């Protein structure tokens, strides 16, 4: 129902309520009909469900199948190791998501709200959950609105609606009836759940509660929206399917070739199964989980809470960040930016010495002011607290000024006069101090204070002054006018006419100081930043210019008129989207995704949650964000600061790079194993690797070195290059092909040599050792596309390679190795195996050095 189009009396009549509120009996009836005034939230996931959801991926299914096959073949050690890796992956993912959910729950539990209502003609305080339609509610400065309300009485009422509309400045409210189809942001006689009273008082009647509020409708819609699968999850599932098909194809081919070469079917089956299990990169899920967990820990240090493991990597591949403005790019605190007096404009940041008219303006700012200065805490309307702060900067104390000039009478602000005045007394002299909308103040002024002199204010001079304040407004500043006069008779007409004009002050919600650098880093990292806000175009443009964000601007009304076929071009070319509705924000995000962009979206309010859900990564605010926004996001900014996103992007890119490094290593190693077996049989050679030896090789090489690569530090230029191709496998297959081919050629040559000079058992031990050493040394080349000589040491990789090397030595020179068919090697035989193993790292490092040389 359009409550804003009805008078207070009609609203009360339609709700079957009265100016005395509801009776307790009627409240109980309505409570049973409407239920609690709370949002219906999807049932939270149980710990059990959260744990088992970690195993929902194609690669995990393959590994579990490998466990079953290993058990059926009595390969219990291999089954145990693979199963252990699967469980480790699940535990890491569960622990991180559970910890994130706990932090979110703590944020929710810290918010408990009471509300003052009128029932049976008496005021009483109740839990906000017990509100019902028809309740009369009393609200005052600083209180949160807890249901949708129609204002029926108000005094100087202003409301912060940024959580709903994105508007950074408080909105003036009144009881006046509105007509026509009025957008939500312009319904000046309505108060909506989730917003906050920033100034004044109101008596209002509850019209909607719970899921029927504007907040609730959108929250319910969001809960029906399916979460977007992270790009990492999509690509890993796709990779798992493709690698499974490739492995089955290769292993099937190997089995057929083996049978044709006369190898026993049972033995060949065991070799094929071992080869299949060995070829699966079983360490990959655990490596990814550990890589992400390490990054998440680092991100938490920079005030970024990751709720879902894959989100850490997704942030690293982001190509566009769609950020809101208020509180993320800005301080969410009004500040006086500049002051106009005596015909001059002064920048508050740069002005130290002030003239008498400048000082007089600051005095009016604190004397015509209802905010309270309580030591380090200034309480009250954001506009008035800003005036007290700027006055303190220039040595003017609110406490002393008001004690020296006691209040006589206040004429509060209203929407008709667009001004307020307070009459104060100094000795026997009464002075009216006035502030308000610049045009309304100027209209009532007859003189101007210039320095210490009062000069007549001509029409010509008024036009000059008008141009000055309009120039300030064009810079995105909210402008207030100031005047005063001495009076004898205390009434509103005397207090607010024939004023002496003192000047204007321009206010703005300033940009966070660290954001400018963060924007610069984002741009140099190849990330486009778009501002999508419900705030005004001029204000948003002013902030964008201050933080170094250049680009074209468009507002929501203009966007409404854009034809469907023009959206793609508009979204691609515009940087600032102002006065945007939630539906428009969602459409911008969807259009960017159709353009194959990886999109991160920030948001704090109910107006953001659809876009948060649809984005590749939704980023909500931890300080001022709504519960619904946090529940809809993949990541929470604990300090609400855009700069923290860019710090987290660095960790995300580190994750992306390290997963690629681990993939290079695992796939190249496994490709070499498969090629050695297949080509040995094609060439009519005996099997170089026995079934259990294959599984041992994977246990030694696919675990520790791959994990060490997962914790590689970020490369120095990680934020100096663009996101490029966001495929995890871009550039990986070349390494796999070359390394796999090098491995199989060098191992086959060594095996053939050993067969000619030693026994089959020695040849097989040399071949498997060479393959293991090849993989261990090749891990160093996988660290970077730059030469090893230009990198700092990764101590964990050194430890991993040394330990894996030692394990192979133990297997060769103790009876333990006989389980895998190993025999002891002489120093010469071991030397040949080590030299063969070095071939990969030598070739790759030579290629890197050569490439860097020719680049010069």
Sign for the CA dihedral angle at 785, 788, 792, 795 comes to: positive
Residue 727: partners with Cβ closer than 8 Å, 6 or more residues away: 235
Do residues 677 and 278 lie in contact, with contact meaning Cβ atoms separated by under 8 Å? no
Q: Which of 505, 152, 147 is nearest to 345 (CA)?
A: 505
Q: Which of 760, 802, 759, 758 is nearest to 780 (CA)?
A: 802
Do residues 509 and 331 lie in contact, with contact meaning Cβ atoms separated by under 8 Å? yes
Give how far Cα 58 sits from Cα of 61, 81, 240, 347, 479, Å: 5, 19, 6, 61, 59
Three-class SS of residue 389?
helix
Residue 324 among the catalytic residues = yes
DSSP state of 567: H
Round to whole Å and give the CA distance between 476 and 260.
Answer: 81
Q: Which of 196, 172, 299, 219 is nearest to 622 (CA)?
A: 299
Give how far Cα 404 sits from Cα of 426, 427, 485, 649, Å: 7, 9, 17, 54
3-state secondary structure 413-479: CCCCCCEEEEEEEECCEEEEEEEECHHHHHHCEEEEEECCEEEECCHHHHHHHHHHHHHHHHCCCEE
- What the block records as the tokens of 101 is 């959910």
Do residues 164 and 607 lie in contact, with contact meaning Cβ atoms separated by under 8 Å? yes
Round to whole Å and give the CA distance between 716 and 720.
Answer: 8
Residue 392: partners with Cβ closer than 8 Å, 6 or more residues away: 373, 398
> What pairing do the DSSP bridges indicate for beta strands 617-621 and 320-323?
unpaired
Q: Which of 221, 163, 219, 166 is nearest to 192 (CA)?
A: 163
Round to whole Å and give the CA distance between 281 and 262.
Answer: 30
End-to-end CA distance of the chain: 72
CA-derived radius of gyration, the chain: 35
Round to whole Å and give the CA distance between 480 and 387.
Answer: 10
DSSP state of 124: E
Label residue 739 left, alpha or beta by phi (over 0 means left) and psi (-120 to 50 means alpha).
Answer: alpha
Round to whole Å and give the CA distance between 484 and 787.
Answer: 74
DSSP state of 833: H
Give how far Cα 385 sits from Cα of 201, 357, 381, Å: 17, 21, 6
Do residues 319 and 502 lie in contact, with contact meaning Cβ atoms separated by under 8 Å? no
| E-only strand ranges, 113-256 | 114-119, 122-127, 136-140, 148-160, 171-172, 190-191, 196-208
The active-site residue, picked from 135, 324, 535, 604, is 324
Do residues 691 and 255 lie in contact, with contact meaning Cβ atoms separated by under 8 Å? no
Do residues 449 and 340 lie in contact, with contact meaning Cβ atoms separated by under 8 Å? no
- For 184-215, give the DSSP string: GGG-TTEE-TT-EEEEEEEEEEEEE-GGGSHH
- What the block records as the tokens of 435 is 């502030």
**Element holding 551 (H helix, E strand):** none
Question: How far is C-alpha 236 from the chain's CA centre?
Answer: 23
Give the residue numbers annotated as catalytic, written as ranges. Answer: 324
């Amino acid at each position: 129902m359009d409550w804003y189009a009805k008078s207070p009396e009609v609203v009360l009549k339609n709700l079957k309520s009265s100016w005395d509120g509801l009776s307790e009996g009627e409240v109980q009836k309505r409570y049973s009909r409407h239920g609690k005034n709370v949002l219906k939230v999807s049932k939270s996931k149980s710990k059990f469900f959260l744990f088992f959801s970690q195993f929902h991926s194609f690669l995990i299914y393959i590994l579990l199948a490998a466990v079953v096959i290993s058990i059926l073949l009595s390969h219990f050690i291999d089954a145990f190791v693979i199963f252990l890796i699967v469980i480790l992956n699940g535990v890491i993912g569960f622990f991180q998501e559970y910890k994130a959910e706990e932090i979110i729950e703590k944020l929710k539990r810290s918010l408990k709200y009471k509300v003052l209502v009128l029932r049976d003609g008496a005021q009483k305080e109740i839990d906000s959950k017990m509100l019902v339609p028809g309740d009369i509610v009393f609200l005052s400065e600083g209180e949160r609105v807890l249901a949708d309300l129609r204002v029926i009485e108000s005094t100087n009422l202003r409301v912060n609606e940024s959580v709903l509309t994105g508007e950074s400045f408080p909105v003036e409210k009144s009881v006046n009836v509105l007509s026509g189809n009025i957008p939500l942001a312009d319904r000046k006689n309505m108060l909506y759940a989730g917003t906050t009273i920033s100034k004044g008082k109101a008596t209002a009647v509850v019209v909607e509660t719970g899921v029927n509020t504007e907040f609730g409708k959108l929250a319910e819609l969001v809960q029906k929206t399916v979460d977007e699968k992270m790009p990492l999850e999509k690509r890993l599932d796709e990779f798992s399917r493709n690698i499974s098909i490739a492995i089955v194809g290769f292993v099937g081919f190997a089995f057929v070739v083996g049978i044709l070469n006369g190898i026993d079917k049972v033995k060949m089956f065991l070799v094929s199964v071992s080869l299949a299990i060995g070829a699966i990169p079983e360490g990959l899920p655990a490596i990814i989980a550990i890589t992400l967990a390490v990054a998440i820990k680092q991100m938490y240090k920079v005030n970024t809470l990751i709720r879902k493991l894959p989100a850490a990597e997704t942030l690293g591949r982001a190509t566009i960040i769609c950020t809101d403005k208020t509180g993320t790019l800005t301080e969410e605190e009004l500040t006086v930016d500049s002051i106009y007096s005596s015909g001059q404009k002064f920048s508050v940041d740069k002005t130290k010495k002030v003239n008498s008219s400048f000082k007089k303006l600051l005095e009016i700012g604190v004397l015509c002011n209802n905010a309270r200065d309580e030591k380090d805490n200034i309480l009250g309307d954001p506009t008035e607290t800003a005036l007290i702060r700027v006055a303190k900067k220039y040595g003017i104390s609110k406490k002393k000024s008001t004690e020296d000039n006691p209040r006589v009478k206040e004429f509060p602000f209203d929407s008709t006069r667009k001004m307020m005045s307070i009459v104060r007394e100094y000795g026997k002299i009464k002075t009216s101090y006035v502030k308000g909308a610049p045009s309304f103040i100027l209209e009532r002024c007859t003189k101007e204070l210039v320095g210490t002199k009062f000069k007549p204010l001509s029409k010509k001079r008024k036009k000059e002054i008008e141009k000055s304040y309009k120039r300030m407004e064009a810079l995105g500043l909210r402008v207030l006018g100031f005047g005063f006069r001495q009076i004898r008779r205390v009434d509103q007409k005397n207090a607010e006419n024939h004023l002496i004009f003192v000047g204007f002050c321009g206010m703005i919600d300033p940009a966070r100081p660290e954001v400018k650098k963060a924007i610069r880093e984002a741009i140099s990292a190849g990330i486009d930043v778009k501002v999508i806000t419900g705030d005004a175009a001029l204000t948003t443009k002013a902030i964008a210019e201050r933080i170094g964000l250049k680009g074209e601007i468009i507002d929501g009304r203009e966007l409404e008129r854009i034809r469907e076929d023009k959206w793609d071009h508009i979204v691609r070319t515009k940087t600032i989207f102002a006065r945007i509705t939630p539906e428009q924000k969602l459409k911008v995000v969807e259009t960017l995704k159709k353009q194959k962009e990886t999109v991160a979206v920030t948001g704090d309010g109910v107006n953001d949650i659809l876009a948060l859900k649809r984005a590749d990564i939704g980023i909500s605010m931890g300080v001022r964000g709504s519960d619904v926004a946090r529940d809809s996001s993949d990541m929470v900014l604990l300090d609400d600061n855009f700069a923290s996103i860019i710090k987290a992007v660095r960790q995300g890119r580190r994750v992306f790079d390290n997963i690629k490094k681990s993939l290079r290593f695992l796939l190249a190693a496994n490709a070499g194993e498969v090629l050695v077996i297949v080509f040995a049989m094609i060439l009519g050679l005996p099997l170089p690797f026995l079934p259990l030896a294959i599984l041992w090789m994977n246990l030694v090489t696919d675990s520790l070195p791959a994990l060490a690569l997962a914790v590689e530090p970020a490369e120095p230029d990680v934020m100096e290059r663009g996101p490029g191709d966001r495929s995890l496998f871009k550039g990986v297959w070349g390494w796999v092909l070359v390394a796999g081919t090098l491995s199989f050629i060098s191992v086959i040559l060594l095996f053939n040599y050993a067969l000619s000079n030693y026994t089959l058992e020695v040849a097989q031990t040399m071949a498997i050792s060479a393959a293991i050493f090849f993989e261990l040394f090749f891990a160093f080349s996988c660290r970077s596309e730059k030469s090893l000589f230009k990198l700092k040491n990764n101590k964990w990789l050194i430890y991993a390679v040394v330990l894996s090397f030692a394990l192979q030595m133990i297997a060769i020179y103790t009876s333990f190795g006989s389980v895998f068919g190993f025999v002891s090697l002489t120093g010469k035989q071991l030397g040949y195996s080590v030299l063969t193993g070095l071939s990969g790292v030598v070739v790759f490092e030579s290629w890197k050095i050569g490439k860097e040389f020719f680049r010069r």
